[in-house]
């Protein structure tokens, strides 16, 4: 499929990108791994694509006990950061390694993934389990909102018009924590049929987040048995995996992720 005619502009900096995005049907282009396919299918028909891929929004750093991921950080970038190998953050690299193929991991970005908000995408569950928030910039200024509030529904977020995701921020879990991401990949796309991300804290407290089951990734209520919580969750089914199969799969993935995260937490004590 060939996309509809579209104009292209490369933004020089974030301010320039926001000015260009004032055009009503303009769209930012990061790695293009999700935007170009939907343009080719003509599901999305922007009048202007604003290339933000070279903006200074790429990289990982730790500051004041927080981990900051630039919006343009690619999956491959994440795999090269030594600090992300610590037990509490291992879910991030585990997830990045499972995404797509080499080309997708080289081009696809964290920011692009959360804005595209595919219900089967992997990283939202991991970032929810790690209590991440989204950093946004528009001509009105900067704002930071919890990822759980940013993800509104399938392919829908709280991103405003003329607004850019500049990054993700999350608190570094305390010493003695471990995280893990376990998914069943769809054999054709690699996206998650279901995926479970878990953070286990030093006193066994845990956060469990799931993807691939509902319109958007979500966190299971605290202190409730995961199997019981999933019984009352409205889970979708399709020709690849029925609702009943996905529900059972999710329970198994949660168990595996909990086991792995607890082992990592133990190693960190």
Contact pattern from residue 75 through residue 104 relative to ligand FAD, giving x for each residue in contact according to CB under 6 A and a dash for the rest: ------------------------xx---x
Please tell me whether residue 27 binds ligand FAD under the rule CB under 6 A. Answer: yes
Question: Which of 31, 176 has the CB closer to ligand FAD?
Answer: 31
Please tell me whether residue 196 binds ligand FAD under the rule CB under 6 A. Answer: no
Residue 68, strand partner residues: 61, 169
Phi, psi (degrees; rounded to nearest 5) at 241: -150, 120
CB of 262 to ligand FAD, least distance (A): 25
Residue 222, strand partner residues: none
Contact pattern from residue 123 through residue 152 relative to ligand FAD, giving x for each residue in contact according to CB under 6 A and a dash for the rest: x-----------------------------
Contacts for 28 with CB less than 8 Å, ≥ 6 apart: 17, 21, 49, 50, 52, 115, 164
Question: Which of 57, 200 has the CB closer to ligand FAD?
Answer: 57
CB of 138 to ligand FAD, least distance (A): 10
CB of 92 to ligand FAD, least distance (A): 13
Please tell me whether residue 34 binds ligand FAD under the rule CB under 6 A. Answer: yes
Please tell me whether residue 33 binds ligand FAD under the rule CB under 6 A. Answer: yes
End-to-end CA, the chain: 53
Structure tokens at 92: 């991030």
Contact pattern from residue 161 through residue 190 relative to ligand FAD, giving x for each residue in contact according to CB under 6 A and a dash for the rest: ---xx-----------------------xx
Measured distance CA(219)–CA(210) in Å, rounded: 6
Query: What stretch of H or E contains 256?
Result: helix 243-267
Dihedral angle over CA of 216, 47, 36, 151, nearest 10: -10
Structure tokens at 68: 């900051």
Please tell me whether residue 28 binds ligand FAD under the rule CB under 6 A. Answer: yes
Tracing tokens 């990054």 back to the chain, one arrives at 167
CB of 123 to ligand FAD, least distance (A): 6
Decide: helix, strand or coil at residue 75.
helix
Task: Report yes or no: 189 and 151 within 8 Å, Cβ to Cβ.
Answer: no
Measured distance CA(221)–CA(233) in Å, rounded: 11
Contact pattern from residue 222 through residue 241 relative to ligand FAD, giving x for each residue in contact according to CB under 6 A and a dash for the rest: --------------------
CB of 190 to ligand FAD, least distance (A): 3
The residues of the shown chain that bind ligand FAD, judged by CB under 6 A, are 27-35, 52, 71, 99-100, 104, 107-109, 111-113, 115-116, 121-123, 159, 164-165, 189-191
């Amino acid at each position: 499929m060939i996309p509809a005619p579209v104009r292209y502009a490369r933004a020089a900096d974030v301010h320039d990108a926001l000015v260009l995005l004032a055009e009503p049907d303009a769209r930012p282009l990061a790695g293009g791994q999700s935007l170009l396919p939907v343009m080719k299918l003509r599901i999305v028909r922007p009048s202007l694509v604003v290339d933000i891929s070279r903006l200074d929004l790429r990289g990982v750093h730790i500051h004041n006990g927080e981990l900051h991921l630039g919006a343009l950080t690619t999956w491959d970038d994440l795999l090269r950061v030594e600090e992300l190998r610590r037990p509490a953050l291992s879910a991030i690299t585990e997830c990045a390694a499972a995404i797509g193929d080499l080309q997708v991991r080289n081009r696809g970005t964290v920011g692009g993934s959360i804005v595209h908000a595919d219900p089967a995408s992997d990283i939202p569950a991991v970032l929810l389990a790690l209590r991440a928030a989204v950093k946004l910039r528009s001509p009105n200024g900067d704002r930071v909102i919890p990822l759980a509030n940013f993800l509104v529904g399938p392919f829908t977020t709280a991103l405003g018009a003329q607004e850019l995701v500049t990054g993700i921020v999350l608190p570094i879990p305390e010493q003695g924590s471990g995280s893990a991401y376990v998914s069943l990949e769809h054999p054709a796309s690699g996206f998650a049929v279901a995926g479970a991300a878990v953070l286990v804290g030093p006193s066994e407290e845990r956060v469990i987040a799931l993807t691939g089951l509902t319109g958007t990734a979500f966190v299971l209520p605290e202190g409730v048995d995961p199997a019981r919580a999933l019984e009352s969750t409205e889970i979708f089914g399709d020709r690849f995996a029925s609702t009943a199969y996905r529900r059972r799969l999710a329970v198994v993935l949660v168990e595996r992720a909990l086991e792995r995260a607890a082992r990592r937490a133990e190693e960190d004590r």
